[in-house]
Amino acid sequence: MVRPKKHLGQHFLRDQNIARKIVDSLDLPEGDTRPVLEIGPGTGVLTSRLMERYPGRLFLVEIDAESVEHLHQAYPSLGHHLIQGDFLKLDLQALFPKPFVIIGNFPYNISSQIFFQVLDHRDRVDQVVCMLQKEVADRLCAKHGSKVYGILSVLLQAFYDLESLFKVSPGAFHPPPKVMSSVIRLRRNARKELPCDELLFRTVVKQAFQKRRKTLRNALKHLNLPASVDALDLMDKRPEQLSVEDFIFLTQQIGKG
């Protein structure tokens, strides 16, 4: 058996019902052929079900050599579809030049970084079903007006529709994590490009939330905004009060200046 390693965020799911529910949450149409990538298969509790459902088009990336060895022995047919490596360093463009979907019980310590990587490949990552620390999941799914709405909520919701599906208690894992978990689904929305400069959009969102208790006028002061932007009513608000559309509008106005 694989000994759980804390530094790799290894908490193995042992509740088979929950494993089934997670796999069922991937919503692919009949006859679909897109590759399915599982991040962090570990001992393979999701993998066995995914292999049945998506034969020949399931890929896995796992950083832990011991888990990889275990998986190769348990499922010899995986072959080169099982990649030993760090998801954050994968050349996703080379591996998946066409659209694909992602599933996994994510290593909680790197979940934000996983989503930044997803955003970088958003035109090919059509859907993500994943388990996360509940607190992080709540933040990603939060709408403006919520205290937990933040940078990744805005950046992800610009390109994905997010749904919170169900909660999972620590007792479902070995060893149990200290936190509640939550399964969420992201589906790519219809927006191809932002109608504003995307780099500037990211900067504005990040800077605004760095000082989330200040008004935008204060938080963005050092960007030397033109007077026309400074005068906007929206600049009296705090970042958590702005919808994704508001951030896009603000970026457009800044870009004009």
Residues of this chain that bind ligand SAH (CB under 6 A): 8-13, 39-43, 45-46, 61-64, 67, 86-88, 105, 107, 110
What amino acid occupies position 114? I
* Shortest reach from residue 72's CB to ligand SAH, in Å: 14
Min. distance of Cβ 61 from ligand SAH in angstroms? 5
SS3 annotation, 146-187: CCCCCHHHHHHHCCEEEEEEEEECHHHEECCCCCCEEEEEEE
C-beta closer to ligand SAH: residue 102 or 219: 102
- Taking CB atoms, the residue at the shortest distance from ligand SAH is 40
Burial 130-158 (b: 16+ CB within 10 A, else e): bbbbbebbbbbbbebeeeebbbbbbbbbb
Are 32 and 96 contacting, i.e. CB atoms less than 8 angstroms apart? no
* First and final C-alpha spacing in the chain: 61
Measured CA to CA, the distance from residue 17 to residue 145 in angstroms comes to 35
Distance in Å, CB of 2 to ligand SAH, minimum: 8
Q: Shortest Cβ distance from residue 126 to ligand SAH (Å)? A: 20
Please report how close the Cβ of residue 107 comes to ligand SAH at its closest, in angstroms. 3
Q: Which two tokens stand for residue 25?
A: 């949450």
